[in-house]
Amino acid sequence: MNCQETRQILDGYFDGELDLVYRLDIDGHLRRCTGCAETLKTYRELRHGIQVGTIYYEAPAELKASIRMSLQDTGKAEVSRRRLNNSGKIQRFAMAASIVAAAIATAIVLTALSGSSATEGIATEVLDAHLRSMMRDHLVDVSSSDQDAVKPWFAGKLDFVPPVRDLTDQGFSLIGGRVEYLNRRPVAALVFRRGQHTINLFVWPASHPDASIHTSTIQGYSLVHCSWLGVTYWAISDLNSGELRELVKYQQK
């Protein structure tokens, strides 16, 4: 068995799906070939990482969509191949498994790379959404200062339940909420007032934990964001950033 043949069914070998003859062939190859042995080691490390939860992050929506598409394409290609070749089961499995392995590896790389440039992109979207909400006089779709009225309004409009808190006692009055599309997904926009200042607090499920509070300023607007207990918060306002930080800090209490 050569490297190419080994790689084709290595996923099946790794998952204990192969019969004895194939297994022995691969055992033999792995003893002779450090390259394939390294690949198998990577699979084991990936699986271990996933099992102990150290490297699992939710894949970005775009990545999920592309994986789904490639799996569908694989499915179509396989239907025609099956007509020609009935012994394609292992290959089919190996192909699907390697797509999944590649997707996991890609997700890890993306997560590692998703540093400042992704954050900058979101910051721009947050600013755009804030300015739109102020200009088109469409700040809220549900107008209420009652957190128990605003929270259930999002049910059925989002695939998560946003935490909603009235912080009037802390100087931030809830005035309502609406749904926005940010970071390639629908998110909750909670709107607060502090004096004459309007604050948009955007909320969606976090893709990775980052409890520290980040502050920035774009075009004179303050932006504060953090991820806390599985939820990402982005606040924006013409308030000074110190006061806006207070609002985000209250989400962590």
Task: Please give the residue ranges that form the binding site for Zn ion (CB under 5 A).
Answer: 3, 33, 35-36
CB of 98 to Zn ion, least distance (A): 15
Using the minimum distance from each CB to Zn ion, give the nearer residue, 36 or 199: 36
CB of 31 to Zn ion, least distance (A): 10
CB of 32 to Zn ion, least distance (A): 8
227 contacts 175 by C-beta, under 8 angstroms: no
215 contacts 230 by C-beta, under 8 angstroms: no
Using the minimum distance from each CB to Zn ion, give the nearer residue, 33 or 108: 33
Using the minimum distance from each CB to Zn ion, give the nearer residue, 9 or 235: 9
CA atoms within 13 A on the CB side of 35: 5
Query: Coil, strand, or helix at residue 77?
Result: helix
Tokens standing for 197? Answer: 């200042």
Query: Coil, strand, or helix at residue 196?
Result: coil
Distance between CA atoms of residues 184 and 173, nearest Å: 28
Using the minimum distance from each CB to Zn ion, give the nearer residue, 14 or 221: 14
Nearest to 183 by CA among 233, 134, 144: 233
CB of 36 to Zn ion, least distance (A): 3
CA distances from 58 to 64, 104, 194, 205, 230 (A): 9, 10, 34, 10, 11
CB of 43 to Zn ion, least distance (A): 14
Which stretches does DSSP call E strand in the chain?
142-143, 173-182, 185-194, 197-205, 210-218, 221-228, 231-237
CB of 30 to Zn ion, least distance (A): 8
CB of 37 to Zn ion, least distance (A): 8
By beta-carbon distance, which residue lies closest to Zn ion?
33
Using the minimum distance from each CB to Zn ion, give the nearer residue, 4 or 51: 4
Using the minimum distance from each CB to Zn ion, give the nearer residue, 26 or 167: 26
Q: For residue 173, what are the β-bridge partners? A: 193
Classify residue 181 as exposed, middle or buried by CB count within 10 Å of its CB (0-12, 13-18, 19+).
exposed
Using the minimum distance from each CB to Zn ion, give the nearer residue, 7 or 214: 7
